[in-house]
């Protein structure tokens, strides 16, 4: 029985709370949120103790793991405090929007032995996960190309944009991680095009709403990501892999399999699952189970701090390509140096 | 907050217990099973009180509703006792395998005011339910034909066969209900063919494993059901409706949408969801919510005792067609009389 | 090089003429139609000689095969005259609408050695044909059930109805043949429901527009056919087979594979191919090739006179079931006797 | 009736010959090939006159149009000779592999009034064509992104590689044209990654077998192309468009719609149509019809010389991006100048 403390009682925190409470292998001992009414509501519903102060959590010997679902700027600090308290930590992505802060955090936790897992939930999606397993198992022979399509159903509000740190670090970062996961090999070169095509709110603050990225690995494997901040047909989340023996596609999911045929045409279905809470419901659950499995087995993190760090380095490389009009060689060792 | 007592702690009972406990609109106050260790296990896990005696349940004024998930021969009696205790009752199908017992039960509850809902869960499947709603909303104009395909993944053991009362009353009864639900009009004529084609256990006890049925309504609408006790590709559950303006199909569901393309061909996916627990997970939850909605609104049952009774009358008519080699005219008024 | 004479220059005859002319293994030597302008038009386009009299065709030693695409009442006679002239014959279905006339024709050709092939083109559809081959090759183990869905896009005009001999003999006869082809075993019992549900022209003359049929073979295999005289989404032509090791479906074809996704939903496509000329274009071509293969090899007819006869016997059995309200045992030996 | 002369009697020439002969709006008057037995074979089969010398064709006043299906290095010259003879010309892609030769050809035909259509057949594919029409008709609102997947079934032999002028000019050139067609706006920037991942024959001669390309238009629209010289599942030809109101996909085509369901999974189909002759059969026919429509109407070419020229300029820009590691700004005015 793994005893969790949850930091963050917003929308995503509430979902994690429900998953922890419903699961028979763990319990929710503490809930904390800077906004006290939010943590109190979760406490009332789940029976978790409401922490007034984070020290209550980090000092409680009966807490095995901290689930960090608070705002992005707090992530790095809470990871450090968790591991310094000897607790495992499952932290929502990203580690931070600033690579300098990630490097600093990296140094502080370098000697820690606690399990750290970053919340790249898509690795645990039953479809995407099955695809990557099939690639690893050699089902399509030698992997050659990966294509990721990822489109949000609708643009966020201005406040979200201002805090998000740019589309490539906020939204595409999931795809950079998925690309690394599917490729099974490090990306060495990045080139990218971005546009503001439709969202006037984004335009006003100089932010993009559309992006296309190419990446290449040392052995020559190729990867493409396409992104958009809107999709009228729902949250578009697809992964495609090509190898010497075939192709695999993890296609979108619709809530039902009802097909309609009439004079206007045939074969249409529901729109896709609306957004991440609906689309990745099972992925969030499997992510939690993977974290518990790893913690109990004492094995290596399935999505390590380094995975979180490298996804951000790729996002930064893509931004540099857009700025310079050059193909960018990725520098994982010294990401603070400006690469060619 | 609706307070449930659950009778039956077997496999399906445990699923209902988990649904009730997890739902924020209801609580599980009591659990009972003739096999005490089963009820104790559910009690330990959920916090429900373990009843030693059914009177504890029926006499508890703090019980709003009884969920009957015990063995079929107990259903009619528990329905009667529930409504006589002034409690709402949600009872697994069928009411009983013997129409005489159902008629007797019908008399006993004729003056009761309690809500009775029969567990024909497929009406609440998101796909099948959406299809029937679309038919009711006139999306395919005037309804003309309904086709139901329903195949279990594998045959049951001998003991199950012996208790089940025959395939048409045990398995097809779901499809008779779904046919009535989709047609929106009573069936007046039935003709049927059955076979034992593959299951030697069934054959040994004179039981069938395959069936095809035709039905007709007073206005001439046509309906076909096909059944089998096995399907290597998983639980096959499809519903198709034809109307003057088009066709609707509620197709099977696979666990993922992964597609594979290789030299042997293209476009294959997972097998279907394995069986009813997996396939109708959401249907069971929506059935529970529908029951609570109806109870709170004081409105008419969505799946009434009469619905349960009529599904059994259709199963009996199909058996009579097989026996006599005649088309059978359905007699809902006096089902104990042998119809032509 | 097989030299054809074609009798009938209507819509279907013109299509056959084009197929013969375009094919590099045959030539069109003669065209005949009772309506001279029709045969002249085909002659002008294809270079075929226009026969003024059928004797010109039957007496021409340079004709290897007669393609009969004239009106139904002429079929039996033209089959007899073709084989008596020592010519192979490929004759559009049905042989005749009257079983007595078919029996008479059967006697007259009993000693003939010419190849006779009946135009049940659906056997040669790439999809349906591949399905039946897979069944024969044991891909789904022992065959257990067959389901045929067959719906015309729109009802015919009154004149067509009056000449067609009833829906089961005109339209369903294709499905009776496909059922026999897919089952690979003779049907012994038939039961059927029919309705007039939408077509007022049909109603006026006492004709049906909707039908559902069940059939059973000696070994207990089951088969269902559903028919309608309209389908807003195009010509609906599907075949489904269930066996001990799996299911096969031959689904509808759309002209393109364009998928649309928008706020109203996802995944719709074109309507189905409009009607038989479009849907079975390849089937007609493969039928022609099969006929030529058989003729050149001197092997047994792939779709024999007896196949044409038995499809009609099944149609008559279905009519008898509707009339009597009984399951009908099929009598292939003496179809003129009224069976139980 | 349009009277064609066909230059080139190889595999693709034979297909064009058959299409011309079978079509009721045109005739094949002449056939020419440098390899006389090839032209004689086509002549014997179709009745076309076999030209010994190209002058016979260019000097024949009874030739309306020349169909150029000879080897690539002859295209530019035959276009010039055709228009100088006052004949319309339908020429297989590409115009030439060398942009300098294309520029020279461009000058020579600048004053000609003959119709010139370049054989970018994919524009006429029923699926791809329907998708682009839907985009033009505003079905998905404002176009934002286009994604083209194009993979050959298997790599060509060494001799083909050596003559082909590089994968981006030989294979991708179809996709550059399709991108321009779908975008409806000129591409201004190109960036590309290429690899040799699997084909040792290609590797030996320094040729690539895999490519990914990004393009951007002046208004910020984004486009991605992915290519491979092999695909075990058949010729992979897909087109996807995203707009403010939805997504359109033109998916692959399989020869049948047979679906198989068994214990290993569900829902697989035939491999894709094998290669361009099979996949684009209808596109080649519609291309011919479009050419005839344009010629008869005297309207502007649907796929002009300039379209052929610009596709080559994009291929060259992609090569320059690979060489320099820079994003390349496309220079349509002076393609012989090296752009940044």
Give the pLDDT band of residue B267 (cuts 50, 70, 90): low
pLDDT digits (tens, 9 = 90+) for B109-156: 999 899 999 999 999 999 999 999 999 999 999 999 999 999 999 999
Q: Which residues of C126-140 are buried (b: 16+ CB within 10 A; e: fewer)?
A: bbbbbbbebbeeebb
User: CA-CA distance, D116 to C226, in Å (whole number)?
Assistant: 53
pLDDT digits (tens, 9 = 90+) for D212-231: 999 999 999 999 999 999 99
Predicted local confidence at residue D329, as pLDDT: 97
Question: Over 90: is that where the pLDDT of D338 sits?
Answer: no
Strand B116-118 vs strand B88-91: parallel, antiparallel, or unpaired? parallel
Question: Over 90: is that where the pLDDT of A22 sits?
Answer: no
Q: Is the peptide bond before B94 cis (omega within 30 degrees of 0)?
A: yes
CA nearest to A27, candidates A304, A301, A292:
A292
Q: Collect all residues of chain D within an 8 Å Cβ-Cβ radius of residue C258.
A: 127, 130-131, 134, 248-251
Tell me which of A259 and A201 has the higher pLDDT: A201
CA dihedral A305, A310, A313, A319 (to 10 degrees): -120
User: CA-CA distance, C183 to B33, in Å (whole number)?
Assistant: 48
Strand D222-228 vs strand D143-151: parallel, antiparallel, or unpaired? parallel
pLDDT digits (tens, 9 = 90+) for C172-229: 999 999 999 999 999 999 999 999 999 999 999 999 999 999 999 999 999 999 999 9
Predicted local confidence at residue A269, as pLDDT: 65
Of D236, D263, D268, nearest to B265 by CB-CB distance is D268
Centroid of chain to Cα C140? 26
Predicted local confidence at residue B270, as pLDDT: 66
Residues of C (210-249) whose Cβ lies below 8 Å from B: 210-216, 220-224, 226, 228, 230-233, 236, 242, 244-247
Q: Among A243-257, B289-303, C320-334, which stretch is predicted with the lowest mean pLDDT?
A: A243-257
Residues 6+ apart with CB under 8 A from A175: A148, A150, A213, A225, A227
Nearest-Cα distance to chain B for A102, in Å, is 35
pTM of the model: 0.93
Question: Over 90: is that where the pLDDT of B16 sits?
Answer: yes
Domains in chain C: ranges and CATH: 2-114 (3.40.50.720), 123-280+309-329 (3.30.360.10)
Strand, coil or helix: what is A256? coil
Question: Over 90: is that where the pLDDT of C71 sits?
Answer: yes
Residues of A (130-149) whose Cβ lies below 8 Å from B: 130-131, 134, 139-140
Say what angle helices A172-183 and A305-324 make with each other, to 10 degrees.
Answer: 110
User: CA-CA distance, D178 to D162, in Å (whole number)?
Assistant: 25
The answer to whether the beta carbons of residues A84 and A112 sit under 8 Å apart is yes
Mean per-residue pLDDT over chain D, rounded: 93
Strand, coil or helix: what is A166? coil
User: CA-CA distance, A14 to A10, in Å (whole number)?
Assistant: 6
Mean per-residue pLDDT over chain B, rounded: 93
Q: Collect all residues of chain C within an 8 Å Cβ-Cβ radius of residue A263.
A: 232-233, 271
Predicted local confidence at residue B339, as pLDDT: 46
Predicted local confidence at residue A79, as pLDDT: 97
Predicted local confidence at residue D263, as pLDDT: 80
What is the sign of the dihedral through the CA atoms of D198, D327, A180 and A15? negative
Give the pLDDT band of residue B338 (cuts 50, 70, 90): low
Interchain CB contact of B250 with C (< 8 Å): no
pLDDT digits (tens, 9 = 90+) for D66-106: 999 999 999 999 999 999 999 999 999 999 999 999 999 99
Q: What is the average pLDDT across B313-339?
A: 92
Residue A164, H or E segment: helix A158-164
Residue from B239, B262, B279 whose CB has the most chain A CBs within 10 Å, to mutate = B262
User: CA-CA distance, C184 to C162, in Å (whole number)?
Assistant: 33
Predicted local confidence at residue A340, as pLDDT: 44
Specify the long-range contacts of residues A130-133, CB closer than 8 Å, at least 24 apart.
Answer: A130/A250, A130/B256, A130/B258, A131/A182, A131/A239, A131/A241, A131/A248, A131/A249, A131/A250, A131/B258, A132/A181, A132/A182, A132/A241
The structure tokens listed for A46 are 């789940």
User: CA-CA distance, A55 to A301, in Å (whole number)?
Assistant: 25
Tell me which of A274 and B101 has the higher pLDDT: B101
Give the pLDDT band of residue C22 (cuts 50, 70, 90): confident
Q: Collect all residues of chain A within an 8 Å Cβ-Cβ radius of residue D134.
A: none
CA nearest to C286, candidates C179, C87, C135, C130:
C130
Predicted local confidence at residue B340, as pLDDT: 43
Nearest-Cα distance to chain C for A238, in Å, is 14
> Looking at the DSSP assignment, which residues form a beta bridge with residue A192?
A213
Query: Quick one: what percent of chain B has pLDDT higher than 70?
Result: 96
Interchain CB contact of D264 with B (< 8 Å): yes
Cα-only R_g, chain D: 20
The answer to whether the beta carbons of residues B298 and B256 sit under 8 Å apart is no
Residues 6+ apart with CB under 8 A from C192: B214, C168, C211, C212, C213, C214, C318, C319, C321, C322
If you ran DSSP here, which 8-state letter would residue B294 be given? H
Q: What share of chain C is helix, strand, coil (3-state, %, to 5)?
A: 40, 25, 35
User: CA-CA distance, D296 to A288, in Å (whole number)?
Assistant: 68
Give the pLDDT band of residue A256 (cuts 50, 70, 90): confident
Of B220, B226, B247, nearest to C195 by CB-CB distance is B220
Residue from B254, B264, B268 whose CB has the most chain D CBs within 10 Å, to mutate = B268
The answer to whether the beta carbons of residues A215 and A187 sit under 8 Å apart is yes
Residues 6+ apart with CB under 8 A from D202: D155, D161, D196, D208, D209, D229
Predicted local confidence at residue D269, as pLDDT: 66
Q: Can you spell out the DSSP letters for C6-50? A: EE--SHHHHHHHHHHHH-TTEEEEEEE-SSHHHHHHHHHHH-PEE
Give the pLDDT band of residue C268 (cuts 50, 70, 90): low
Predicted local confidence at residue D266, as pLDDT: 63
pLDDT digits (tens, 9 = 90+) for B206-257: 999 999 999 999 999 999 999 999 999 889 999 999 999 999 999 998 888 8
Beta carbons of B260 and D268 less than 8 Å apart: yes
Do you know the residue count of chain A?
A: 340
Q: What is the average pLDDT across A1-19?
A: 94
Residues 6+ apart with CB under 8 A from D190: D213, D214, D215, D314, D317, D318, D321, D327, D328, D330
Residue A70 Cα distances to A279, B124, D58, angstroms: 21, 37, 78
Question: Over 80: is that where the pLDDT of C139 sits?
Answer: yes
CA nearest to B315, candidates B76, B92, B69, B98:
B98
Predicted local confidence at residue C262, as pLDDT: 83
The answer to whether the beta carbons of residues A259 and C265 sit under 8 Å apart is no
What is the sign of the dihedral through the CA atoms of A69, A70, A73 and A78? negative
Predicted local confidence at residue A266, as pLDDT: 63
Q: Among A81-90, A268-277, D247-256, which stretch is predicted with the lowest mean pLDDT?
A: A268-277
Strand B26-32 vs strand B49-50: parallel, antiparallel, or unpaired? parallel
User: CA-CA distance, C65 to C63, in Å (whole number)?
Assistant: 6
The answer to whether the beta carbons of residues A237 and A247 sit under 8 Å apart is no
Give the pLDDT band of residue C340 (cuts 50, 70, 90): very low
Residue D169, H or E segment: helix D167-170
- List, in sequence order, every beta strand (DSSP E) within chain C: 2-7, 26-32, 49-50, 65-68, 88-92, 116-119, 143-151, 187-195, 210-217, 222-228, 236-243, 246-250, 258-262, 265-268, 328-329
Q: Can you spell out the DSSP letters for B155-208? A: PPPHHHHHHHT-HHHHTHHHHHHHHHHHH-S-EEEEEEEEE--S-HHHHHTT--
Half-sphere CA count of C119, side-chain side, radius 13 A: 25
What ipTM does the predicted assembly reach? 0.93
Q: What is the average pLDDT across D116-136?
A: 95
Predicted local confidence at residue A124, as pLDDT: 95
């Amino acid at each position: 029985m793994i005893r969790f403390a949850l930091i963050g009682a917003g929308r995503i925190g509430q979902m994690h709370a429900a998953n922890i409470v419903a699961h028979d292998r763990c319990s929710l001992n503490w809930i904390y949120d800077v906004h006290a009414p939010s943590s109190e509501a979760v406490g009332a519903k789940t029976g978790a103790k409401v922490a007034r102060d984070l020290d209550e959590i980090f000092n409680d010997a009966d807490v095995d793991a901290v689930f960090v679902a608070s705002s992005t700027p707090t992530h790095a600090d809470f990871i450090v405090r968790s591991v310094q308290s000897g607790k495992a930590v499952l932290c929502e992505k990203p580690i931070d929007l600033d690579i300098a802060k990630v490097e600093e955090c990296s140094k502080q936790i370098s000697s820690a032995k606690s399990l750290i897992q970053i919340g790249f939930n898509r690795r645990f999606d039953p479809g995407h996960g099955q695809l990557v397993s099939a690639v690893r198992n050699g089902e399509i022979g030698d992997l050659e190309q990966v294509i990721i399509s990822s489109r949000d159903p609708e643009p966020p509000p201005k406040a979200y944009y201002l805090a998000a740190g740019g589309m490539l670090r906020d939204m595409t970062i999931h795809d950079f991680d998925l690309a690394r996961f599917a490729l099974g090999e490090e990306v060495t070169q990045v080139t990218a095009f971005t546009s503001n095509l439709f969202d006037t709110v984004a335009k006003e603050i100089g932010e993009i709403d559309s992006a296309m990225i190419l990446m290449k690995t040392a052995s020559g494997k190729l990867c493409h990501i396409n992104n958009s901040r809107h999709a009228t047909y729902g949250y578009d989340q697809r992964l495609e892999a090509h190898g010497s023996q075939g192709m695999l596609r993890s296609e979108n999911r619709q809530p039902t399999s009802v097909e309609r045929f009439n004079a206007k045409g045939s074969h249409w279905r529901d729109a896709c699952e609306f957004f991440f809470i609906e689309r990745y419901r099972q992925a969030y659950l499997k992510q939690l189970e993977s974290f518990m499995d790893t913690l109990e087995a004492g094995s290596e993190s399935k999505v390590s701090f380094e995975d979180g760090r490298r996804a951000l380095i790729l996002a930064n490389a893509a931004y540099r390509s857009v700025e310079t009009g050059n193909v960018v060689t990725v520098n994982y060792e010294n990401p603070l140096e400006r690469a060619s």
